[in-house]
Amino acid sequence: MATLTFLGAVGEVTGSRYLLEVDGSEGTRKLLLECGMHQGGGDADERNARPFGRLARELSAVVISHGHLDHAGLLPKLVREGYRGPIHCTRDTRDLLEIMLADAAFVMAKDVEWENRWRHKADKPLLEPLYDTDDVEQTLAQCEPHHYGQPVSLPGGVTLVYRDAGHILGSAIVELKVPSGGRDRRLVFSGDLGNPESVLMEDPEKVFDADLVLMESTYGDRDHRPLDETLEEFARVLEEAHAAGGNVLIPAFAVGRTQEVLYHLSVLYHEGRLRQQLVFLDSPMAIRVTELYQKKRKSLNDEDLRVLNVAAQGDPSQYLPVLRLTRSVEESMAINRIHGGAIIIAGAGMCNGGRIIHHLRYNLAKPSTRVVIVGFQAAGTRGRQLVDGVERVKLFGEEVPVKARIHTIGGFSAHAGQSELLAWAGAFRQRPRFYLVHGEPGAQQALRSALAAAGIEAEIPDYGDRIEL
């Protein structure tokens, strides 16, 4: 018999983690599907810090769908606590993890160093980071990368196959064939399904056979605006910012969203519609990821790349000539001397850390500023506060009035909307059991109702729920 326990991303969008236990002749084998960080909310740090306990040494394998931190960000912590088995992922995910986990360790070290200064003065116990760069290196050494469509044998007689999820570079739908109850059962995890209208990525693959499906529900309550309307709104915001003389701030999701925004800025530039003459990519991680996307061009959508090639006469360096890459802290600080006419793309995407905080501090109080939100903002994050219309926000210990105009442009989302989720779920030939994960309660209930109207029954699990395959 095989069982699945829900250990994360239930009733919330982040913290992905599921435990698969398979009984066999050699005893019970434990496999971990996803090992993600919790992001947003007052208890996120506490939940991330909870020890894995005995599980770290009892696991036989780990399977990761893609490289976003809410799916893979606690891998080095698992390794730090004793896990030494294989970490299965796609080849492009392995390369992304090298960038993202190293950056997470660096940011964590800086945050802990800052916090410990105050703790030392207050004679309080000092903190330790969840993991460091040595743990990241060990994690990468344990990664076993695979191609899409390649069957992989896992402990317990389980077979893994990755399918293209079309979300970010290397993102995958996870198919697991699991022996249970005298026959093979098919467990399919959607991972994060991509938005077919997004550029650069291929469309998510359809899967037709499953006994049990774990499906994301991030945007289960709505569809995204059509891309052409989204681009017109984006161009209009940029034009208004130019007329008002202010800067445009775009909180950067380093993987996927940043590259898509740069693509659309490039198209606007070559159409003569980009009035701003300075575009800053102010995120060392986003810069490295953008360079990786360039290196991995064969993994991207040919038609979208052809558009860029035509626009820039085939010269990648001319896609966006006004782009400036600011790697150092000094270069980043210098941007704050520019009081208008610039587009500043800076991390982090949910405004809960990174260089965007400095740019918000210098620009939020100006009515001429435009803040363009291009991705999902989890509950409890500073980005969510801005989207919800907060009048003042605390930055570096001081209250800053929000006079800037906040624009939420959801059509850039790299997630499937409700209609795409319904179409993906409707492709299964039999009637598998559906469990909705990776969504806030309202979105999950809406998707559950929409699925029911289409004749598909779905359940919404709670933390710790355990089901048989």
What's the pTM? 0.91
Residues of the chain with CATH 3.40.50.10890: 227-412
Q: What is the mean pLDDT of each run of 10 residues along the chain (469 residues)?
A: 96 95 90 94 88 97 97 98 98 97 92 88 90 98 98 97 97 97 95 94 96 97 92 95 96 91 94 95 94 93 86 74 94 94 93 91 96 88 93 91 93 91 96 96 98 97 96
Please give the Cα distance from 414 to 230 (Å, whole number): 13
Instruction: Indicate the CATH number of 2-222+414-468 among 3.60.15.10, 3.40.190.10, 3.40.50.300, 3.20.20.140.
Output: 3.60.15.10
Confidence at residue 385, expressed as pLDDT on a 0 to 100 scale: 94
Going by C-alpha positions, the residue among 271, 268, 294 that lies closest to residue 279 is 268
pLDDT, residue 441, reads: 96
- Looking at the chain, which residues constitute the CATH 3.60.15.10 domain(s)? 2-222+414-468
Per-residue pLDDT at 107:
85
Name the class of domain 227-412: alpha beta
